[in-house]
Structure 1
Amino acid sequence: MAKAFEDVRIVDFTQVLCGPMATAQMALLGADVIKIEIPEIGDQMRMLSARDIWAETRCGPGFMGVNYGKRSLSLDLKAPEAKEIVGRLVKGANAIAENFKPGVLNRLGFSYDWAKSIQPDIVYIAISGFGQEGPLSGAGAYDGAIQAMSGMMSATGTPETGPLRVGFPVADMTTGFNAAFALASALYRQKATGEGQYLDLAMTDSLLSLQNYSVSRFTVAGDEPELLGNNSPTFQGTSSVFPTKDGFLNISVFTDKMALRLCDAIGHPEWKEERRWNSAEGRTEDFDEIQRILSETLSQKTTAEWLPIMEAEGVPVAPVNTLEEAVYSEQVTQRNFLLEMPAPTGIDQTVKLPGTSFIASEDSPGTDRSPPRVGEHTDEILAEIGYTDGEIAGFHDKGVV
């Protein structure tokens, strides 16, 4: 059976992270994603954190993780010939994706109205930091700035550290998934109604949406998030991250029943009679003392020693894994989260890259198409949209592609 978007073509103007993340998800589900890049240079993400062979081939790891399954067409969008080339791509395409600053693609001549005049049912998604309208619409957007302005940073950290950013580009990644969902929704509607539409997606809205729980508590009850660090919003001393002899454990104990089980697990059943352990009020009032006791107690054994003890008593517990421990854990490995595929053309090895977060009973997401080199599929794509070998050679001579 065909994958969900196997008959879908997406003309992809996006670069860096959030946009490419969205179109990569669509590629994993079968879409033919044509990535338009600056000749020779390509997506600026190609060289970020790239070194050795990855720098030589302009295929850095960060780029590869959000660009597998795509074909690359190098094209100078300012060249006079670009309008006709993109027009031919749009004719018969299902969607266009872009994440330039608002207005940039319009000024280059590739607006939604222009695309709709060529392909009336086109879906056009414009991804930006703050949206296409409003006082900040023209502002540049970087992940850290979006974390700061969305309120997320104000709830991350401790009173001692002050606000902290999340340790990975959460604004970009969340926006990418939201954009993929928006595209999938619009493509479903397109198939049902024969109509296209314009999608305006903002990174700030994505992070506010991700904070649904906190936003709802604020808008309904006026509760402003606090800097809790690793502690639980329940403000109970039994819910936090605690040191072990060789690492850390996250313990999530916030009910009386859980707390009594924790007392048994750490070898102090007599504490079950004490208010500071057997009541939520006590666990809150004696927060600091409970944290001190648990830190001292848990540091007497290794993480591996504590896990079976806690699990046997039914205490909600998890090791604080390194990324390596998480990625190569038995659980994640069994679910085939990492996709193994050939490295980009010219590199004789395979690479493992992150896939999607779900498994389908039929036609699970995946691709065997390597992340593309800059312009790797230019001639192939131009031939598909009707250009002759001579015309293609002429584009190369002029630096159009």
Structure 2
Amino acid sequence: MSETDPMPRVGMKPFSGIKILDLTHALAGPFATQLLADLGADVVKLENPNHQDFSRSIPPFAGDHSHYFLAINHGKRSIAADLRTENGRRLAFELAAKADVLIENFRPGAVDRMGLGHEAVSAVNPALIHCSISGFGQEGDGSKRPAYDIVIQAMSGFMSVTGEHDGAPLRSGVSIGDMVAGLYAVQAISAALYEREKTGQGAALDVSMFDALASMLSYYVTLAQVSGRSPQPNGSRHATIVPLGSYRASDGFIVVAATTDAFWRNLTKAIDREDLLSDRRFVDLASRQEHREELAKILEETFLQRSVADWTESLDKHDVPNGPVLDILSLIDNPVAVERQLFRPVETTVGDVMVTRYPVIDRSIGLPEERRDTAPALGENRADVIRDWLGREPAVEEGTT
């Protein structure tokens, strides 16, 4: 290979060689570091052997692995150290001094008390990117509040627009407050690594679950101000686009998204109701918004008459955006998911379990090679991590007492 030839690219691994010291637990932090591991980073998960990540204990289990822990910790390495002891803190500090990124989601102030705060570590590692995920940020009165996903969903306004019309506010089925914060953490870390290439300087990133989920409300924020009313929950319907939602067919549910007048015309053909085109209540989006309940009743009665498969065939024929409502087991076997290799197997003592892959494909390379690295047992990579990161042999008692 000549000096001008590009480096060969095997899979989408832009963070290969990047060291991530992972002090996270539960979901938001581990989800972020899982994505970083998927992108090629060497993620070393450091846990207290006496107070390990509680997600290791959440049933059901695949052999020795909690389903929950397996989902967001595969492909990482594990080291155990009690950060309440001098030996444990010393080892953690040594690792932080060699890391590119330190990420944690303790309560604000906890890592400072451990001696692993941004100021302490950046004094010896000025290029370190220190990322903290918390409920309400690292400073201010809100930072003192304990936070879980449901609290963030409630206080961010997210639950106020989630649920059935005139029903109680509902929590999203997935812990979206945690996961959105994890996504923003990865985005911020990626940007900080890029900036570091230009300046050589690290960063102190403050990722608030509250801020992250509130930012996802986007057009709901402007809608509330322009209309003068806070949007209300509408089930699967859209706040402003009509018709868009789920409908019960004879054997299941199907969603339809007639987002434009062209798709609306196509929909009337697909359901054999072209008479609706001349109905003044539905002639344009503003009219359909005003008469959304009347239109919903018509569509609900219509979709009940045929099966999901029949409607899918008709809607596809007339180019109407639609899809069946799949359960999770159906999703894993769905032809689109299989074709795109959306899930990959990891090994457990009782057989393979499918996990999600990083969901972006670099088409210049193709799909990444199948990876089967499982989640690590507590502390199983201690010796290798100390050798690889610190360049020495581990002491017998190091970090464990």
CA contact (8 A) 2:88 2:398 kept: no
Q: Taking structure 1 as reference, are residues 386 and 240 closer, same or farther at Cα in structure 2, changes over 3 Å only?
A: closer
For 1:394, the equivalent position in structure 2 comes to 397
Correspondence 1:2-401 to 2 at 5 A = 3-39=13-49, 42-51=52-61, 53-54=62-63, 57=64, 59-218=65-224, 222=228, 224-234=230-240, 236=242, 238-343=243-348, 347=349, 349-360=351-362, 361-362=364-365, 367-384=371-388, 385-388=390-393, 391=395, 393-395=396-398, 399-400=400-401
Number of residues of Structure 1 aligned to a counterpart in Structure 2: 388
CA contact (8 A) 1:12 1:98 kept: yes
Q: Render the CA deviation track for 1:66-124: whole Å, top value 9, x for unaligned.
A: 11121000110111112321222123221100100000111122111111122121110
Q: For residues 316 and 305 of structure 2, what CA distance do their matches in structure 1 show?
A: 18
TM-score (norm 2): 0.90
Q: For residues 363 and 11 of structure 1, what CA distance do their matches in structure 2 show?
A: 29
Secondary structure of 2:144's aligned partner: coil
Residues 40-49 or 115-124, more deviating: 40-49
Residues 358-367 or 28-37, more deviating: 358-367
Q: For residues 115 and 378 of structure 1, what CA distance do their matches in structure 2 show?
A: 21
CA contact (8 A) 2:255 2:324 kept: yes
**Alpha-carbon distance, 1:215 to partner:** 2.2
Q: Render the CA deviation track for 1:221-258: whole Å, top value 9, x for unaligned.
A: 6552222222222264x332211000112122254433
Aligned residue type for 1:358: V
**Alpha-carbon distance, 1:150 to partner:** 0.3
Q: Taking structure 1 as reference, are residues 364 and 192 closer, same or farther at Cα in structure 2, changes over 3 Å only?
A: farther
CA contact (8 A) 1:260 1:278 kept: no
Identity level (%): 31
Secondary structure of 2:73's aligned partner: coil
Q: For residues 302 and 102 of structure 2, what CA distance do their matches in structure 1 show?
A: 57
Q: Render the CA deviation track for 1:294-336: whole Å, top value 9, x for unaligned.
A: 2122111100011111121222222222122223211111111
Q: For residues 152 and 348 of structure 1, what CA distance do their matches in structure 2 show?
A: 39
CA contact (8 A) 2:50 2:82 kept: no
For 2:5, the equivalent position in structure 1 comes to none
Secondary structure of 2:103's aligned partner: strand
Secondary structure of 1:130's aligned partner: coil
Aligned residue type for 1:252: A
Q: Render the CA deviation track for 1:372-396: whole Å, top value 9, x for unaligned.
A: 011111122234425546x2x2338
Q: Render the CA deviation track for 1:261-280: whole Å, top value 9, x for unaligned.
A: 22222223334322234343
Q: For residues 321 and 359 of structure 2, what CA distance do their matches in structure 1 show?
A: 23
Q: For residues 80 and 263 of structure 1, what CA distance do their matches in structure 2 show?
A: 71
RMSD: 2.2
CA contact (8 A) 1:235 1:287 kept: no
CA contact (8 A) 1:75 1:82 kept: yes
CA contact (8 A) 1:28 1:365 kept: no
Aligned residue type for 2:209: M
> Gaps spanning 5+ residues in structure 2: where?
1-7
Q: Taking structure 1 as reference, are residues 122 and 298 closer, same or farther at Cα in structure 2, changes over 3 Å only?
A: same
Q: For residues 181 and 74 of structure 1, what CA distance do their matches in structure 2 show?
A: 28
Residues 242-251 or 314-323, more deviating: 314-323
CA contact (8 A) 2:383 2:393 kept: no
Residues 42-51 or 122-131, more deviating: 42-51
Secondary structure of 2:251's aligned partner: coil
Secondary structure of 1:91's aligned partner: helix
> Gaps spanning 5+ residues in structure 1: where?
none
Aligned residue type for 1:305: D
Aligned residue type for 1:38: N
